[in-house]
Amino acid sequence: MKLIERKQYVNQLDTWKDKQVVKVITGLRRSGKSTLLTLFRRHLLSLGVEEGHIISVNFESIEAEPLKEYHALYQYVVDKMIDDGMYYIFLDEVQEAPQFEKTIDSLQLRPNADLYVTGSNAHLLSGEIATLLSGRYVELHILPLSIAEMVEATHLSPERCYNRYITSSALPYVLQLPTEESVRIYMQNIYQTVVLKDVMTRGNMGDADLLDRLVRYLADNIGNITSIKGIADGLKAGGRSLSPHTAENNVRLLTESYLFYRVPRFDARGKELLRTGQKYYLSDVGLRNMLLGLRSGDLGRLLENVVYLHLIRRGEKVMVGKVGAREVDFVRFSNGRTEYYQVALTVRDEATLDRELASLKALRDSHPKYLLTMDPDPEVNHDGIRQIYVLDWLCEQ
């Protein structure tokens, strides 16, 4: 199988190569974490690193079963470190090994150990490991393919790739599948793994139907301002009772598995984080199509979801903006710079254009402002607000 080059992520890992911090690679299952380690392995070899100086353990492989005990894992790695040269240690899906953090902490004490670990839930950065590695790790969060990566891998037009992105999936392996039916089965298997293994098991939950309804509710409300009470009330209206406390805990588990991202709201005038209301977006919009089907009335919110994923791809902070009674879809903060984004399916109608511009015009500062649409028109400047064809923007490197 041909590997899709993930140049952005390989470059980020290369930036931290040989630094005395643990590189923690997180992301949704099958988003490409293991492939990234393979690509980085190739990169290391191209730099002249010897094969024997790269030590890999994949905890999803049955061959790694004896190494899940942390003493055994430590000894296995140390036995392979036969000289003083730098060793690159890859521990893939490390959350499958109980007390793995003890092995990592001990290995990190060795000056010639450069550690890279992957995992499929935010538990990697919580609890004991965060205490042990405080200030000694960096997180690289990997997303499914971008539109630009999909174009490069398939040589299809941005328009066709976008259609595939929202109807099928942006998970890398999906590009290898020959039929819609095979994609559907693959996506169902991933969904079941995330929900049953990463959420239900870790949360000691016993009601799969209730969790499935919660996922579907959140997926059906991407881009809508949502509260925990509103989620509980929405499920109750659908015939299932769920307390706000339980709803909050279950939503937290879903975000920690990287199935959803929680996006807080920001008062762009008062320059403060709002305590109430937030939005949720899916890590892969193809999952939504698999769960709910594609409806024409949802295309605007799907576009909004795609834009959000592109905005966070570089690890920058993104929030939903509030300007008085109006809303700005996204506020991005990056290296002391603030940017505002409004997203619309089309603004060919003058009234729609005026409405979308109004929120951005209500911002009385000089920060960059963008209106992103699916209208394939040349860029237009509305008194400092740049209107851009969103597929051109998504394909920028």
Residue 1 confidence class, pLDDT cut points 50, 70, 90: low
DSSP, residue by residue, 55-106 = EEEETTSGGGGGGGSHHHHHHHHHHH--SSS-EEEEEETGGGSTTHHHHHHH
In the prediction, which pLDDT does 168 show?
94
Which of 287, 229, 283 lies closest to 260 in space, CA to CA? 283
Report the alpha-carbon distance of residue 158 to residue 361 in Å, rounded: 30
Q: How confident is the prediction for the chain on average, in pLDDT?
A: 92
Q: Tokens at residue 16, please?
A: 């931290």
pLDDT in tens, 306-328: 999 999 998 789 999 999 889 99
Looking at residue 238, what DSSP letter applies? T
In the prediction, which pLDDT does 43 show?
98
- What average pLDDT does this structure show over 287-293? 93
Phi, psi of 320 (to 5 degrees): -85, 135
Whether the predicted pLDDT of 128 surpasses 80: no
Q: Tokens at residue 339, please?
A: 């940017």
- What average pLDDT does this structure show over 16-30? 94
Q: How many CB atoms are closer than 10 A to CB 50?
A: 11
- Domains observed in the chain: 7-141 (3.40.50.300), 147-394 (1.10.10.10)
DSSP, residue by residue, 160-204 = HHHHHHHHT---GGGGG--SHHHHHHHHHHHHHIIIIIIIIITTT
In the prediction, which pLDDT does 358 show?
96
Whether the predicted pLDDT of 116 surpasses 80: yes
In the prediction, which pLDDT does 397 show?
62
**In Å, what is the CA distance from 92 to each residue of 8, 35, 135, 332?**
20, 10, 22, 31
Whether the predicted pLDDT of 124 surpasses 90: no
As to burial, measured by CB atoms within 10 angstroms (0-12 exposed, 13-18 middle, 19+ buried), residue 114 is: buried
